[in-house]
Each structure stands twice: as structure tokens, then as C-alpha cells.
Structure 1
Amino acid sequence: MNQAIESFQLPPPFPDHTQLPDSDGTFVKNFQEHPQSILLTDSIGPVLEQIHPDGQYVIGQDCGIYWRETDPPEKGAEAPDWFYVGNVPPNLDGEIRRSYVLWREFITPLIVLEFASGDGSEEKDTTPLSRTEPGKKPGKLWVYERIMRIPYYGIYVIKTGQLEVYNLINGFYRPLEVNERDHYPIDPLGIELGLWQGNYQNQSLLWLRWWDNRGNLLLIGDERAEQEHQRVQQLEQAQMEAIPRLHQMGLTVEQIAEALSLPVQQVREILKVN
């Protein structure tokens, strides 16, 4: 009996993100893919910071989500072009994540997005594991729907500019309807996903963008900085135009400076008075 116990060995524990491949060796499929991911991540940042003031969330860009153990390991992973997981730490044991291992964290991404270079058939593949040929992976949509059970799945076919979003209802994906702005509402985040024609990183294309639930475009850092610059310029212009009017109304230089929160000397120079 004791000899039998001594000879028994537990199976090795599930590998973690440091032990699993972080790439399958394939090329990025098009020049829009990485800028598109950055555009989505940059603009949604302030929203996620409000939802997660503790910083407990993860955004993956072309990173693997491991959902089962296989040999080789990457056969048991999908690598969405963009995904978001809430209420998980951005780093693990002080290390930057190399992948997201679903069997260790058990928290499903809320939304995954695929940027299809082809016609979208690969992203809509529903082939189950039971019907998968040896050496092949099951269909991507089947994995997201039946195994990972991801609530929102978006497919953007770059060539045609077609966007489709699915919502998991009673265990199955159903097409999500657009609202009056032709946007797809992602209700748990209070935002909308849609298409935007514009220039980003020297490419004038049709891009995926986020809006808030009132239809306001969520801006990236450069756009926020430009918006603030324009606001300051407009404020300065309004102050310059107000100074002579207030002076004509009989206000002193000191009163004008206080009313407009300007240095007294600046007001004197504009009015050309001592």
C-alpha cells in the first residue's frame, strides 16, 4: 500500500503565462492591424480608468488566450486582435503578461475583436472540436461562443469595411442590432462601437472607434491634447476681446485683471496704459 502511494505521482500543474508560447510565428496580416489596436486602446483608457480605479483590468492586442492544454500548446489558444478583461491584475507576480491563461484565471474577456484580412469566414468558423481534423484547430467563433463564452464578439472585415457584432444570449451568439447612430452598444461599459473615416498614423482609412452612450467620440491622447489646446486658444481670444469692452464700461485695470484671472501687467499692455 505504502509502496503504491510512493509510486503515485500527481500530474504536472497547468502551465502559466511564463511557460506558454507568446507567439505562433505568423506575421501580422496587414498594416492596419497594429494602429487599429492602438487606436482602440488609447481612446478607451479613460473609460476603463473610471470603471477600474484600482487599475485591475487587462487589454490584449494580438495576444494569446489559452483555453485548453494541447501539444503544441498554441493549438489550444486563440489570439484575438483586441480584447478586454475586467477585474484581473495587469501584471502577474510582478511580470508583464505574455498571454492570458483562461484555465488559471477563470474570468472571461467581456469583448474580443477580430480584424479580418480576408472575407471573415475564418472568424465566423463554427466547426466544433468534435469535428476538427487532426492537427487543426476548432472554429474561432465556436471557441469564443461555446468554450470561452465571451459576451461580445466583433468582426471587422477590413477589405469591405463591414462590421458585425455578436452578443451571447442564452449560450449562443445573436447579431447585435445597431442603434440610431449606426453604432453597436456595449452596455456593460456604457460605450458604443462603430466605424469612423479619418486619418490616423498617416493612414486615411475606415477605422473602428469608440463613442460614449451619448454619441460623443472617445478621443485618443493626441486628439485630447489638440482639443485642450483649442480650448485654451478660444479662452485667450475671448479674454483679449473682453478687455477693451470691460475698460469701456469703466472697470479699472485691476478689476479687469481680477475678473479675467489675468496678470495686471498683461492687461496694461493690451490697453496700452500705465
Structure 2
Amino acid sequence: MTIVTRTDLPPAFPDHTQLPESDGTFVKNFQAHPQSIILTDSIGSVLRQLHPDGQYAIGQDCGIYWRETDPPEKGAEAPDWFYVANVPPLLNGEIRRSYVLWREFMAPTIAIEFPSGNGEEERDATPLSVSAEGKTTKPGKFWVYGHIIRIPYYAIYEIKNGKLEVYHLQDFSYQRIEPNERGHYSIPPLEVELGLWQGTYQNQTQLWLRWWDSEGNLLLIGEERAELEQQRAENERQRAEQAEQKAAKLAARLREMGIDPDADDLE
């Protein structure tokens, strides 16, 4: 009888603390970072309603490890923005360094890419293949997202020319979604729509990728919410001031008529 000892067992799959958190490449353009922030900031209120327990995670240019390779980072894809439902934002009290699919088994609901080039890499549907010598070819990002990680919604937004494509995973392949009458793309699991908004954010005026609710109302970022509250407060102050002026004019007119407006009984 063969006795299997601990040393005979294969090593455990690595976790996020044992895998590289970067492949050493630069962020490719100045727009990608603020674009990610505006998406994260504005969808916060929606996610708090969907996850009152706080169990969700958002990745911005973070690696999703889907297979073990040498070097390890070749087994990861790093969407510019992605959201995963029903996972803890921290792991064992530590900040996430990456998202390891074989540890958590939960695919992101949506991944978004902001190509710096012509989008060829983001649309690459080359499948994983193994040669006769046992060597594997690098699969395309589009194929990995749809066939391996199986991300239900995938968006590609080319910031430089304002081109947006949104795909939905159906029958094991991505099908391109058509926009609705508002020019937005519905993302039912989040009860939101994705679309383009012309405006200025962080000193950059351009078409930004934004969220709307299912009724077509723009989801605001913190700065916009603060400005809206300030405007509401100013409108309320003006209404109160106008009511006070109206009351003062009425009191003056009553006095001209010999009536004391401060009397308890004006009858």
C-alpha cells in the first residue's frame, strides 16, 4: 500500500498575495484614470442599494488571474474597470492586489476597456491552443473574457474617437448589444444604462463614459451631487427670502389700512 504524505501532494494554487500585482507596463493615456474614477464614483449609490452588506469589489486596471503560467502575469488579464458582485472588498483584512479566479470562482458582472490603440487587442478573439510540442499560444482578451472568465457584459470604449461597443455573453459567445432610444446600453444586473456624456471632468472636456438609471437619469458623481445640493439650498433660501418680502409688503399694506398685522384677532 502506498502512503501519500504531505510532501507528495501538489502545491496549492497561489492566492493574490503570491501573484504579481503589475506587469510593469505604463498606464497608456491620461484619460483612462479619470474615466475609471468617474465610473466608480457615480455608481456607488447603486451598489450600496444592491449590496447593503458591502460585499462587492471594483477593480481599476487590476489583474484577473485565470490560469497558472510562468511567469505568472502571463496568466492574467487586466481590464481597465470591472465590477464583481458578492465578494468581500478585502481579503482577510488585506487590500486586494489582484483578483484570482481560481480562489473565488465568481466572474465579474462587467468589464470595461479603454483602448489606447485601435482596439485590436481588446477585440482579439484568438482561442487558446496547444501545439504538437505542448506549447500554448496566447489567447486574445476578447476570447478569454467570454470563454474562460465568462464575464456577462463587456464594453470597449475608444476615448480618442468616442466609439462605444457593448457585448452580452449569450450561448458561450459575445453578441453586440444595440443601444436603446436614448443611445444607452442596458446592463440589467445593475439596473443601469451605460452611455456617453459630453462634459468637463478633472479639467478635461470630452465624451465620458457614464452611468444612467433605468429611467434615463444621469448618475451623479460626488462633485455634481454637492453642486446640486448647493443649488437646492440656494433655491430654498431665495424662496424663503421672497416669502419674507411678500409677508413684509402685506403687513405694510395692512398698517396703511389701519390694521395691526401682529394682532391676535384681525376680524
TM normalised by structure 1 equals 0.87
Amino acid at match of 2:61: D
Are positions 1:39 and 2:38 aligned together? Answer: yes
Q: Is the 8 A contact 2:128 2:136 kept in 1?
A: no
Amino acid at match of 1:110: T
Deviations 1:45-86 (A, max 9, x none): 111011001100000000000001111111110000000001
Q: Is the 8 A contact 1:111 1:151 kept in 2?
A: yes
Q: Name the counterpart of 1:130.
A: 129
Q: Name the counterpart of 1:158.
A: 159
User: 1:169 deviation in Å?
Assistant: 1.0
Gaps in structure 1 of 5+ consecutive residues = 252-274
Amino acid at match of 1:170: D
Deviations 1:1-24 (A, max 9, x none): 35x534961111010000000000
Aligned equivalents of 1:136 and 1:29: distance in 2? 25
Aligned equivalents of 2:63 and 2:141: distance in 1? 13
Q: Is the 8 A contact 1:67 1:102 kept in 2?
A: yes
Aligned equivalents of 2:14 and 2:6: distance in 1? 23
Q: Name the counterpart of 2:242.
A: 241
1:118/1:7 CA distance change after superposition, 3 Å: closer
User: 1:170 deviation in Å?
Assistant: 1.5
Map 1:219-238 onto structure 2 (within 5 A).
Answer: 219-238=220-239
Q: Name the counterpart of 1:176.
A: 177
Q: Name the counterpart of 2:66.
A: 67
Map 1:139-150 onto structure 2 (within 5 A).
Answer: 139-150=140-151
Aligned equivalents of 2:4 and 2:87: distance in 1? 38
Aligned equivalents of 2:6 and 2:53: distance in 1? 47
Amino acid at match of 1:84: Y
The count of aligned residue pairs is 250
User: 1:197 deviation in Å?
Assistant: 1.1
Q: Is the 8 A contact 1:118 1:159 kept in 2?
A: no
**RMSD across aligned positions (CA):** 1.8
Q: Secondary structure at the match of 2:144?
A: helix
Map 1:53-64 onto structure 2 (within 5 A).
Answer: 53-64=52-63
Amino acid at match of 2:221: I
Q: Secondary structure at the match of 2:114?
A: strand
Q: Is the 8 A contact 2:129 2:136 kept in 1?
A: no
Aligned equivalents of 2:119 and 2:130: distance in 1? 20
Q: Is the 8 A contact 2:168 2:177 kept in 1?
A: yes
Are positions 1:19 and 2:28 aligned together? Answer: no
Q: Is the 8 A contact 2:151 2:169 kept in 1?
A: yes
Q: Secondary structure at the match of 2:143?
A: helix
Q: Secondary structure at the match of 1:179?
A: coil
Q: Name the counterpart of 1:82.
A: 81
1:106/1:7 CA distance change after superposition, 3 Å: closer
Q: Secondary structure at the match of 1:5?
A: coil
Gaps in structure 2 of 5+ consecutive residues = 253-267
1:131/1:121 CA distance change after superposition, 3 Å: farther
Q: Name the counterpart of 1:263.
A: none
Aligned equivalents of 2:139 and 2:245: distance in 1? 73
Q: Name the counterpart of 1:209.
A: 210
Q: Name the counterpart of 1:29.
A: 28
Aligned equivalents of 1:208 and 1:65: distance in 2? 22
Q: Name the counterpart of 1:272.
A: none
Q: Is the 8 A contact 1:115 1:158 kept in 2?
A: yes
